[in-house]
Amino acid sequence: MSILEVRNLRKSFDGAPVLKDVSFSLEKGECLAILGNSGSGKSTCLRCINLLERPDGGSILFQGEDILSRKTDENRVRSRINMVFQSFNLFANMNVLQNCMIAQRKVLHRGKEEAKKIAMENLAKVGLSDKADAFPSTLSGGQKQRVAIARSLCMNPEILLFDEPTSALDPMMVAEVCNVMAKLRDEGVTMVLVTHQIEFARKISSKTLFLYSGVVDQFGDTGEVFAKPSPKFAEFLAVEKSM
């Protein structure tokens, strides 16, 4: 059984269709890269999987369970499928350690000591043990994003969604964050990545999906997709390369 199966997903905003018909599936331990032009629906697709947006139609099966069903506890689903944002979204009123502990305490009901231990382990994993007491406003962009990743890892999510995690960062910081993500891939964390860093996506992902104005244009193993790009994907790659 696939860990995630998206079928015929549709979503429009104020009558303007963003996702027209999106289907794909993902196995445990895989890393899926979603590529596409701005406005092609990449982020909307991720936000639907995290239930930040309600799709208009289609279904999303997570471990075989339809998470769009009315009976689904969406908070439980979100705690299993975490999201890392372009703008980090660290809680400004809490320090790094508190950022990493709050969901563990309130959602997973872990004890204080346990939550702290897990938070420190994950901060060590992203190389930020020394920043536990710092407030988000004092961190660099790359550090913020690594804290955001550690915060999600503390929840032991089944799937981690990355919504353009490096788009707000300068090249040095991009490298920091990419290294952390490569490490997670090697550890077998299931990931879905929306990015404009095509070379990085190609390196890290096992599957690639190319979205073109709300429709899946190409989907398959990353090696194959890049070796035999569809006409639209080839054009996309050429434009991105010339930048």
Partner 1 sequence: MNLGEDIARMLSTYWQQFLLGLAGTLLLSVVGTGIGLFLGIFIALGKRLRPKKEDPWYLKIGKGFLLGLSSTYSAVVRGTPMMVQALLFKYGCMMLGVNWNNILPGIDVFNGWMVAGLIVITLNTAAYMGEVVLAGLNGVDVGQTEGARSLGLSANQTLWSVVLPQALRNAIPTIGNEWIVNIKDSSVLNVIGVAELYFAAYNAANDSYAFMASYLIIAVIYLLLTLLSNLFLKVLGIKLEGKHVFRFFHGRRAAA
Residues contributing to the site for partner 1 (CB under 8 A): 50, 52, 54, 75-80, 82-83, 85-93, 102-103, 106-107, 135-138, 141, 144, 148, 151-152, 155, 168
Rounded least distance, CB 153 to partner 1, Å = 11
Give the pairing of strands 215-221 and 65-66.
unpaired
Secondary-structure percent of the chain, ordered helix, strand, coil, rounded to 5: 40, 25, 35
Beta carbon nearer to partner 1, 168 or 215: 168
Beta carbon nearer to partner 1, 110 or 216: 110
Determine the Cα–Cα distance for residues 175 and 10; give it in Å rounded to an integer. 34
- 14 φψ region: left (φ > 0), alpha (ψ -120 to 50), beta (else): left
Rounded least distance, CB 204 to partner 1, Å = 21
Beta carbon nearer to partner 1, 54 or 203: 54
Count the Cβ atoms, other than its own, within 10 Å of residue 51.
Answer: 18
Beta carbon nearer to partner 1, 196 or 202: 196
Beta carbon nearer to partner 1, 41 or 136: 136
Rounded least distance, CB 209 to partner 1, Å = 21
Rounded least distance, CB 202 to partner 1, Å = 25
Determine the Cα–Cα distance for residues 115 and 134; give it in Å rounded to an integer. 18
- 72 φψ region: left (φ > 0), alpha (ψ -120 to 50), beta (else): beta
Rounded least distance, CB 157 to partner 1, Å = 9
Write the DSSP string, 180-237. HHHHHHHTT-EEEEE-S-HHHHHHH-SEEEEEETTEEEEEEEHHHHHHS--HHHHHHH
Beta carbon nearer to partner 1, 75 or 179: 75
Rounded least distance, CB 165 to partner 1, Å = 12
Count the Cβ atoms, other than its own, within 10 Å of residue 210.
Answer: 25
Beta carbon nearer to partner 1, 8 or 167: 167
Count the Cβ atoms, other than its own, within 10 Å of residue 157.
Answer: 18
Q: How far apart are the first and last CA of the chain?
A: 40
Determine the Cα–Cα distance for residues 42 and 39; give it in Å rounded to an integer. 7
Rounded least distance, CB 231 to partner 1, Å = 33
